[in-house]
Chains A and B, each alone.
Chain A
Amino acid sequence: MAATTVRRGVGLGLRHLAYAVIAFIFVLPLWWAIVSSLRPNGEVFADIFPFTAKALLPSPLTLEAYSGIFERGFGMIIGNTMLVALITMVAGLIVNGAAGFAFAMFQFRGKAIILTLIIISFMLPFEAIALPLYTVTQQLGWLDNIAALIVPSVANGLAVFLFYQFFSQVPKDYAEAARLDGVSWLNILLRIYVPLSIPTCISAALLLFIFQWEAFLWPLLAMPSQQFKVIQVGMAAFQQQYQTIWNQLFAVSVITALIPIALLLPLQRYYVQGLAGAGIKG
């Protein structure tokens, strides 16, 4: 097609324009949240009626919203959530990685059935079992205990599946050669397979971390007294309690969003590859 060559220069410009417009719509809510969190509360809705471009700039600029939310104890809530998410992440990598390794390396009876159950367990969203899980937690006596937030989320079907997929692709020769040299299975796992699987570990770690960071319904049910608040629940409670402190509400939202985004952006390659791979096979 000769015409495309002629139009290429103009085409690139139009392309950037189209992409920029779409990206702008995409990012606008978060951008407006950031801008508004940097304004004094009385100015949040300034410049909107009638609408001017100034509405999208933080003027006048102040950090009072951020100092305000930390005075209300949000530092503690962020710390709580970090604790829950990090423990889940580390325990989840070990538990799910081990299971994925076993599925990929060994043949044993019932493997296909167990794998199918695992796939079903991650296709069924957490919301579906949240109410009955509440009863299970009650039976275990874990209500209002931090264990209720962590333990049920450690075993993750999708993470097992990611590791299973990855370890299946590693040539079996490595393990067989090492076995012939008399290396124990545990050493094979730790010395050969764990280092190879770092990219998968990163995507599984992101998955587990983000899952906990975004958890809302479950912590709401499992911690009825709300002595130990995690961020999504804390944010929702804040919203109900301080409906009109707009700039602080925005500040809370911005912090809640920016922490996972700060993790995702440098590691997006792993996250995208990990999830995209699961979709093809799934």
Chain B
Amino acid sequence: MTQSRTPVLLIILLLVPALIGLVVFRLYPIALAVNDSFFNVLRGNSVFVGFDNYVALLTDSAFWNSLKITLWFNLLINPIQIALALGLALLYVQNFKGVGVYRVLFLIPIGVSLPTAVIIWRIMLSQDGLVNGVIGIAGVPAQPWLTAESLALYSIIAIATWKGISYWMIFIIGGLQNISPEIYDAARIDGVKAWQRLIFITIPLLRPTLLFVLVADVSINFLLFAPIFMLTQGGPADSTNVLMYEAYKSGFVFGDMGRAMAIIVVVVAILLVIVGLQFRLLSGRREAR
């Protein structure tokens, strides 16, 4: 289509609503967060304080502790979710009689929202709940899953993983369906074992999809909020106090929006660095054979 025939007015009409929406409600808030992080509210007046909010974070032990928890949480949850999602996707794409039923069942957690998952799991993990009942069969004593400092973070990982892997599975299925079956047929004829096919064929060819899933998954988990808000409020003893919750507390509980915005900016900046690194390290030139 040549430039001269381009109906400019129509393009503008088609694009403007979406662009206004994305600029006002997505991009502008980001700029605003950066701006607000340079201000403090004192007696109802906004006062420009430059980098004070950031400098204050440097010596703020609550912030550092929260950063440590956020990083540890992500170091665990992302590999777990992606490995399980890959496994589930491999099961999903198999073809045999009756697989359809399992495919439907694998998709069910997608329809369960995180708050719903949290409520169900909170009761399941309670002292008299189902989980303690089931481990009781094996003679394991009941555990305080959500109220023990040593367990709460891992319980949240389990809940978010249960809720998340079906969603990530879908993207991996798309990637798997894109790999041509001939490659597998050839490998099978050459006597390549199933686990070798997985490591030397499937995973390298899935690299772009896995990279996408990794980046998207890290972005979500880095900013995870709902389960912490609903289950532990950052406790017990701040053991689940991730940065998003620290920012929320700062802004909406203690009314310190400047600090809240500074934390958000730092979180997003760290996230962008991590995502950038993932692209650098993983999109690599090494082509699959």
Q: A residues touching B (Cβ–Cβ < 8 Å)? A: 1, 12, 15-16, 19-20, 22-23, 26-30, 32-33, 36, 44-45, 48-51, 55, 94-96, 98-99, 101-103, 105-108, 114, 117-118, 121, 123-125, 127-129, 131-133, 135-136, 151-155, 157, 160, 172, 176, 179, 185-186, 210, 213-214, 216-217, 221, 232, 235-236, 239, 246, 249-250, 252-253, 256-258, 260-261, 263-265, 268, 271-273, 275-280, 282
B128-146 at interface with A (beta carbon < 8 Å): 128-130, 132-134, 136-137
0/1 string, B111-137, CB within 8 A of A gives 1: 111111101111110001110111011
Interface SS of chain A: helix
Within the complex, which residue of B117, B137, B251 is in contact with A131, where a contact is CB–CB below 8 Å? B251
Say yes or no: A136 contacts B28, CB within 8 Å: yes
**Which A residues are CB-close (under 8 A) to B201?**
none
B157 within 8 A of A: no
Say yes or no: A45 contacts B14, CB within 8 Å: no
Within the complex, which residue of A30, A45, A160, A221 is in contact with B112, where a contact is CB–CB below 8 Å? A30
**Which A residues are CB-close (under 8 A) to B105?**
23, 26-27
Interface SS of chain B: helix
B251-282 at interface with A (beta carbon < 8 Å): 251-252, 257, 260-261, 264, 267-268, 271, 275
A16-B98, A216-B114 known; A105-B133 Cβ under 8 A: no
Q: Looking across the interface, which residue of chain B has its beta carbon closest to that of A257?
A: B112
Say yes or no: A129 contacts B14, CB within 8 Å: no
Q: Looking across the interface, which residue of chain B has its beta carbon closest to that of A12?
A: B96
Within the complex, which residue of A20, A232, A272, A279 is in contact with B212, where a contact is CB–CB below 8 Å? A279
**B57-65, B75-83, B213-221: which lies at the A interface?**
B213-221
Given contact pairs A131-B33, A239-B230, a sample of 19 additional A-B residue pairs in the complex whose CB atoms are under 8 Å apart: A1-B188, A1-B191, A19-B99, A22-B102, A27-B105, A29-B162, A99-B14, A107-B6, A124-B30, A127-B220, A131-B257, A131-B264, A133-B25, A185-B7, A185-B10, A216-B226, A249-B123, A250-B120, A264-B111
A12-B97, A107-B3 known; A121-B120 Cβ under 8 A: no
Give the size range of B's interface with the partner: 35 or more
